[in-house]
A and B are shown apart, each in its own frame.
Chain A
Amino acid sequence: MLTVLGGLLGLAFGAGFIGALSGLGGGVFIVPALVIVARVPMYDAVGASLISVVATSAGASVAFVRDGWTNLRVAMVLECATVTGAVAGAFMAGHIAPWILEALFALVMLQSAYFTIQRQDTEMLPHPDPLCARLKLEGELPGDDGRLMHYGARNLPGGAVLMVVAGITSGLLGIGSGALKVIAMDYIMHLPLKVSSATSNFMIGVTAGAGALVFLSRGAMAGSIAAPVALGVTAGALLGSRVLPHANVRALRAMFVVILVLIALEMGWRALKGI
Chain B
Amino acid sequence: MVEPLETPPSRTAPDATTQEEDRILRRWTPILLRTILIVATIVLIFGLVVMARQAPGAYLARFHAVQAGRVYAQDPWQKMLDQAEHGDPHAIVIFGLMVLTLVPLARVAFCFLLFLRERDWTYVAFTAYVLCGLIVGVLLGRVG
Contacts and interface: CB of A to CB of B under 8 A. Distances in A.
Given A54-B100, A219-B74, A209 B134 contact: yes
A274 interface: no
B141 A209 contact: no
A188 interface: no
A67 to B, nearest CB: 9
Contacts of A219: 72-75
Given A72-B22, A218-B144, A222-B66, A206 B12 contact: no
A228 B72 contact: no
B100 A55 contact: yes
Interface string A175-213: 000000000000000001000000000000110111111
Q: Please tell me the size bucket of the interface on B.
A: 35 or more
B10 A127 contact: yes
A166 interface: no
Given A54-B103, A226-B97, A227-B47, A214 B140 contact: yes
B1 A5 contact: no
B113 interface: no
Contacts of B63: 4, 224-225
Interface in B1-35: 1-5, 7-12, 14, 18, 22, 25-26, 29-30, 33-34
Interface string A58-89: 11011101101000110011011001101100
Interface residues of A, number: 80
A151 B142 CA distance: 43
Contacts of A79: 108, 126, 130
Contact of B130 (A2, A59, A83, A208): A83
Given A58-B34, A223-B94, A77 B9 contact: no
A267 interface: no
A102 interface: no
Nearest to B32: A58
Contacts of A212: 97, 100-101
Nearest to A222: B66
A243 interface: no
A90 interface: yes
B33 A136 contact: no
Interface string B48-75: 1001100011011011001101111111
Which of B48, B63, B97 counts the most chain A CB atoms within 10 A?
B97
B140 A91 contact: yes
Contacts of B26: 65-66, 68, 72
Given A65-B29, A123-B1, A206 B70 contact: no
Nearest to B60: A1
A72 B62 CA distance: 40
B130 A230 contact: no
A128 B7 CA distance: 13
Contact of B59 (A5, A86, A94, A231): A5
Interface string A2-36: 10110000000000000000000000000000000
Contacts of B130: 76, 79-80, 83, 206
A127 B9 contact: yes
B137 A90 contact: yes
Contact of B97 (A68, A135, A211, A230): A230
10 contacts: A58-B104, A59-B33, A59-B34, A65-B29, A125-B4, A152-B10, A214-B138, A217-B137, A220-B70, A224-B90
Which 7 residue pairs are nearest across A and B when measured between Cβ atoms? A217-B141, A219-B74, A209-B104, A1-B56, A83-B133, A218-B141, A206-B104
Given A149-B4, A216-B98, 7 more contacts: A44-B70, A76-B126, A80-B126, A136-B14, A206-B130, A211-B137, A218-B141
